[in-house]
Every structure is written in C-alpha cells, then in structure tokens.
Structure 1
Amino acid sequence: MTKGFQEEDYYYIALTMVKDIGPISAKSLLSHFKSPKDVFNSTIEELASCNEIGLKKAGFIKKFKEWDKIDKIIKKLERHDVKLIRYVDEQYPENLKELDDAPIVLYCKGTFTKRDEIAIAIIGSRNMTEYGRTNAHRLSYGLASAGVTIVSGFARGIDTVAHQGALNAGGRTIAVLGSGLDIIYPSENVRLYEKISQYGCLLSEYPFGTPPEKHNFPRRNRLISGISIGVIVVEAAANSGSLITAQCALDQNREVFAVPGSVNSVLSQGTNNLIKKGAKLVQHADDIIEELLPQLKNLVAKEGHKEISLEFNDKEKAILSSLDYKPIHIDEIVRKARISVDELLVLLLNLEIKGFIKQKEGKRFCKV
C-alpha cells in the first residue's frame, strides 16, 4: 500500500467497482462479513447466502479482476491530495449516513468538518437569468455569512454562483461532482475547483477516471440533498434536473425552499410549481434561518459549533442594548444597533443559542 492509505481502503474501492453491487448491497456485505477484505476472500456460496446478494452478484464479486486499476487509482489519489472517507470513518458526513443508499466511500479533496453538518444546498438552472444569478448569490452570501455551509453541484449557472457567493462571504462551500475528482467539469471552473478545495471540499462517490456521464448526475443529486438539512431551488424549468434534487430532499425528509419567479418565465415554472405543491417560498437568507432555527440550534449544541462565542462582543452588546422584554421587529434592531441584516442574523442566532434572547413570530426578538 502507498503512504496514507491502508490495505482496507484497497478493498473498499474494489467493492464499489464490482458490477451490480450498489451501496445497499455493499453495506449488507460489510455487515455480514465485517470487512471488505473478507468479502473478497469468501466463497461464492458464502457470498450468495448474504442478504441482498444471491448467486449472480456473488459471481460478479468472485470474477472481479481490476486490482491493477485500483493500484493506479490510489497512486493518483495521493498525487492529487485526495482523501478516501469510508462509511465507518468519523469524518463521514453524519447527515449522509441517514440515507439507505449512502455510498460506502467518498473521495474528498479539501476538508469536511463538523461545522459542515450545518449545510444548505442551493441549486438551479444551468441557463440562468440575471434574476437567478442575483438571488443565488444573495442567498448564498447571506447564509454563508451566518456560518452555514453552502452545498451545490459545481455545474454551470446557479451552482457556480452559489459556490462563489459562499466564498465571497468568507464562508465554506461543498461541491458534489458527478465525475471522478480528477476530471474538472465544466473545465472553465478550474479556479473555482482550487478555491473550493481550500475553503471547503469537493466530494464524489465516483473513482478517478469516471467521466461526467449523463446518468451520473441524478445519482449525484441525492448526495447534494443528503449532506444538507435543506435545499433551495433558485431557478428551474418544469423539467429541470434541479427538481430531481428537490424530490430527493423530500424523500430524505429535508426542507425544500423555492424562489418565486415571473409567471412568464420558463425558468420559474419549476420553482413556482414547487411552491404550489408546498415548498416554502423564500426571498431572503433570514427566511431560511428562521425556518430552520430549531435544527440549527440542535446541530450547534450537538457539535459544539466553534462559531458560537461564549463572550459578548461589541456588536452583541449593541443588540442587547436595543432589545427589551417586549418583542421588536428585526428591522428595528437593524436601525438601533446599526448592523447589517446579514451580520445581524449571525449575532441573533448566537445570542439565542446562549439563551439571552428569544425569537417570536413575525421576525421579532426580545430578551429572555
């Protein structure tokens, strides 16, 4: 084995490359045989007796011969500074573990941290309008400023703008690719690729050398929603691939938000239809934070979120000075404390988690 990789990694990768062995079958095998090496060392009869397998899949496992290819993959992983995160590893995204078909390995360039469990996906059309661009950047920037990690699919259009908005805010972003991490697609995003690897990470379930084929992207979409606690669709036509991600989010019990658009715009048909079906209409970053506040508080408490300070800074003191025990609207707090809405959202969340203020209906806040 090469430096930085264990023998077990070799067999984990092999298991993802066996014909007809998807994540559910792979996890069934690992549960039965305890290690991927034991899977490949078992007899065809032992494999066939495992739940979800049978003789046909057992035969594919025994016929697997691509060991040289795995050697080359692991050498490339080291050369490109890409890590392998296994389903059993502590670094594996907790949100993703909730999925029955979560991949048994993820390829990761950059760092995935506990902070990234507080993540919102922002997705939409590749052929975006200026309206879509503006809203994608504004929402991404506002949420990232509030300490939320932004997840998207690295595609042209809304995805690219969502990643850029998070980076412009000095926040973190995760790109989930539909190819191997050695293939930058679209190619014009090469600089964005490098920036994301520095201030977040790029993830893929596909091994090096996997091209960005059309059928990869619907499968990729379940990971975008699975990593996140909510999904925002900014712009989407009636048959947009973004609606697949929205459906994945619903199936995974995630919140779905949509930006409303003109009834005359083809690229707003999908989002407007989502709202008609029950998706939450969103206009500003604070709409999402207000809706997801209980989950955000639970995650912060659970993970010991480092962004939450235990002492008051000058701006928090200004907020507390502007509040009383009678609730006042967030706009009034902005006026009194002289703090921008985006920054105020972060500070209010911090103060509420500390237990010093409480949010009431209609974006009103008061002291506790």
Structure 2
Amino acid sequence: MSEQDLFYLLALQSVEGVGDIMAKRLLLQCGTAEDIFKTKPSQLSLIEGVGAVLLKNIKEKSIFEKAQKEFDFIASNDINVTFFDEKNYPDRLKHCIDAPVLLFSSGNIDLKNKKIISIVGTRQITSYGMEFCKKLIEDLAPLDPVIVSGFAYGVDIVAHQLAIENNLQTIGVVAHGLNQIYPKAHKKYVAQVEQNGGFMTEFWSSSNPDKENFVRRNRIVAGISEATIVIESADRGGSLITANIANDYNRDVFAVPGRITDKYSQGCNNLIKTQKANVLTNAADLIYILNWDVENKPKPIQKQLFVELEPDEQKIYDYLIKTGKDLMDTIALRCDFPIYKISGLLLNMELKGVIRPLPGKLFEAI
C-alpha cells in the first residue's frame, strides 16, 4: 500500500457515517479511496446506502486534516498498517463481513501458515482457571499456535504471559490507539509482547479505551482466530460477547466447564448447556475438534469436473479453488465483477454443482 493510498483510506475512515461495511461497498464500486473522493455525487448516490447526508460528509474539508494528523502519527511511530485487500491481512479475519478496513499493529507479528487461537475470560481469574490455562498452553506449545487475547486483567494477561513463557507468539488486540496502553498496570509487559508478537487494533491514536470500543475489539479477537476459548466467565461478561461473535462467524468455540456453584464457571457452563461451545477438558479436545492431529495426511486429489464453465465462471472457480472460500462481496472485488453480476454467476455455478453457499454469505468450491 502506497503512502497516497494510506492517506486517502484514512480520509475515508474519518468520514462520518462510513463504517467498515460502507467503506468496502464504496471501494468495490469506485476502485480506490482516492477515486471515491473524485467520483461525482450523482454517481455515488447510486450506491446502496449513500444518501444526502453521507454525500455532504464526504465533501467536508476537515476529513483530510484528520487524515494527515493520523498519517503523521503512523509515520513517526513505526506503526504497521494493513489494508483488508492485501495478502498479509489476517486470512480468517478477511472472511468477516465487518472486518476492519485497516489494521494497525506494532511488534513482530507473523501469522503466515500459523494456527491461531483466542483465549478469553473473566478479569477475576481463579486458581482453577489459571492452572487450566497453564496446562492447556503447555500442551499446545509443540504445535506452535499463536495466542490471541485482549491484554486485559485476568485471563487475558495470563494467556499472554504463558504464551511468552512457552516461546509462542502472542497478540494483544486492544480497544484504543497504539499511542497508549490500557490498563496502565500492564505497561511492564509491552516489551515482552512486542518481542514475541505484538499489538493490533483498528483504532486511531485519537481513540481512548471507551466502553463501546471493547465490543468492537472483541470481533477482531473472534474473527482472527480458528477458535475462541473461554477459560472462565460469570453469567455476563465481555468474553461471552466474544464467544457469541465467534459463533456468528461460524468459528469453533470452546468453554472450560466448572462446578455449578462457582460464579466464574456459570458463563462457561451456560455456553456448553446451550450448545454454543464445545466442552474443553484438555488440549486433546481442541486438537481433535480442530483436526490439528490429521494435518499431515495427504490432501485428496481434486476430482476432474465434467462441466463446462463460462470464462467468468471459470475465473471465479479458479479464485475459490485458491482461497478455499470467501464472501460474495470479496469475490466480486477480487475477480473484478460488479456486485449486480456476481450473484447471477454464483447462482449458475451453484446449479452446475461446482460451488456451494455457506452461512454468512460465504461460497466455496466443491
């Protein structure tokens, strides 16, 4: 991503009323962030969700001043920025329709060909939860997973510390800009985390750890990983929100069971009781359900398809064979088709038996 592209993406993000979904919709129709600002209002108004208020906001001069200020902060603080359409954007997060357009990170994060799990739970971790977390990460260490959490008190910081102790990469997803650390008491862990992974956020340097930011942060924790593990939770809490988001993303969720009389096992027990989470009693449960124990099996040879595909259909099929599965909007973007055309092509391919739809507007090649 060039500096010019980054500047205009920041300007787009600073437009009031433009969230991640709207930003992707505008980019899909216009091409680049710079092109959005150059497109005539009459053309922009044809895009779904673009009304008079948004058109007015796009013309506000202050958005470029805000973008320049954040651009200068990024440049002077060695912040890594990843655009959602770039190859190094977290693969699983990319499949989430509301994934951030831009991710800001620091440290030495490397997610290529990595197993990634998120560990969350109460800020009031008990000795039971601590012992289970310790044994779980020790037993998973030979598989070299990346441990993701929210850098908060309790389960989060314990998971980060145990990952470091076992020489595993760990990522703290924070609910504020990278110019600060919350809670302040955890500043002493920053250097270790950045040496063994790093920090990630979607928030600008002007963003403080406000309450609503933690819910947005949780969707990154859930979306970036293959599975979310709830170690301990009361009957209400942020970790349950993360678990529900992971379920919405069709990701595996695991919960550690506990005694029905224990306050910080109630949330986990309810997740299991309502079939929103798999029971997690040891590392073997996770390894089995995620199929990590059969990774070395030879991949099946793809069957020869005895169907004829049109050139546009073949382009989509080749893309899905390469990526495995993707969202309809992302397929349109990557294969350079307008959104009105992609739905008809996907339907024809489904009827021909070469792709199938999945929950969450995902499609995969058969």
CA distance, structure 1, for counterparts of residue 204 and residue 86 of structure 2: 18
CA distance, structure 1, for counterparts of residue 225 and residue 172 of structure 2: 12
- RMSD over aligned CA atoms reads 2.1
User: 2:168 — aligned with what?
Assistant: 171
Within the alignment, does 1:121 sit opposite 2:118 as a pair? Answer: yes
Output the TM-score relative to the length of structure 1. Answer: 0.76
User: 2:248 — aligned with what?
Assistant: 251
Matched ranges for 1:63-142 at <5 A? 63-115=60-112, 117-142=114-139
Within the alignment, does 1:184 sit opposite 2:184 as a pair? Answer: no
User: 2:208 — aligned with what?
Assistant: 211
* Matched-pair contact (CA < 8 Å) for 1:145–1:169: no
Matched ranges for 1:282-301 at <5 A? 282-293=280-291, 297=295
Which deviates further from its counterpart, 110-119 or 128-137? Answer: 110-119
Deviation at 1:296, TM superposition (A): 7.6
Change (3 A) 1:232 1:299: farther
* Matched-pair contact (CA < 8 Å) for 1:118–1:299: no
Q: Secondary structure at the match of 2:22?
A: helix
Matched ranges for 1:1-368 at <5 A? 6-115=3-112, 117-278=114-275, 279-293=277-291, 297=295
Which deviates further from its counterpart, 7-16 or 49-58? Answer: 49-58
- Count residues in correspondence: 298
CA distance, structure 2, for counterparts of residue 36 and residue 173 of structure 1: 32
Aligned sequence identity (%) = 36
* Matched-pair contact (CA < 8 Å) for 1:116–1:148: no
Q: Secondary structure at the match of 1:262?
A: coil
* Matched-pair contact (CA < 8 Å) for 1:183–1:209: no
CA distance, structure 1, for counterparts of residue 153 and residue 132 of structure 2: 15
Which deviates further from its counterpart, 184-193 or 265-274? Answer: 184-193
* Matched-pair contact (CA < 8 Å) for 1:180–1:207: yes
Deviation at 1:281, TM superposition (A): 1.1
Change (3 A) 1:40 1:82: same
* Matched-pair contact (CA < 8 Å) for 2:14–2:66: no
CA distance, structure 2, for counterparts of residue 296 and residue 144 of structure 1: 17
Which deviates further from its counterpart, 58-67 or 12-21? Answer: 58-67
Change (3 A) 1:116 1:174: farther
CA distance, structure 2, for counterparts of residue 101 and residue 293 of structure 1: 27
**Runs of 4 or more above 4 Å deviation:** 298-301
User: 1:362 — aligned with what?
Assistant: none
Output the TM-score relative to the length of structure 2. Answer: 0.77
Deviation at 1:68, TM superposition (A): 2.7
* Matched-pair contact (CA < 8 Å) for 2:82–2:88: yes
Q: Secondary structure at the match of 2:69?
A: helix
Deviation at 1:117, TM superposition (A): 4.3
Deviation at 1:51, TM superposition (A): 2.2
Deviation at 1:78, TM superposition (A): 2.7
Change (3 A) 1:85 1:300: farther
Q: Secondary structure at the match of 1:210?
A: coil
Deviations along 1:297-322, one digit per CA (max 9) or x if unpaired, are 29998xxxxxxxxxxxxxxxxxxxxx
Q: Secondary structure at the match of 1:121?
A: strand
Deviation at 1:64, TM superposition (A): 4.8
Deviation at 1:189, TM superposition (A): 1.3
* Matched-pair contact (CA < 8 Å) for 2:14–2:67: no
CA distance, structure 2, for counterparts of residue 297 and residue 108 of structure 1: 30
Deviation at 1:231, TM superposition (A): 0.6
Change (3 A) 1:295 1:106: farther
CA distance, structure 1, for counterparts of residue 24 and residue 123 of structure 2: 34
What letter is aligned with 1:194?
A
CA distance, structure 2, for counterparts of residue 117 and residue 137 of structure 1: 21
CA distance, structure 2, for counterparts of residue 146 and residue 52 of structure 1: 45
Change (3 A) 1:244 1:64: farther
Change (3 A) 1:40 1:298: farther
* Matched-pair contact (CA < 8 Å) for 1:118–1:296: no
Q: Secondary structure at the match of 2:291?
A: helix
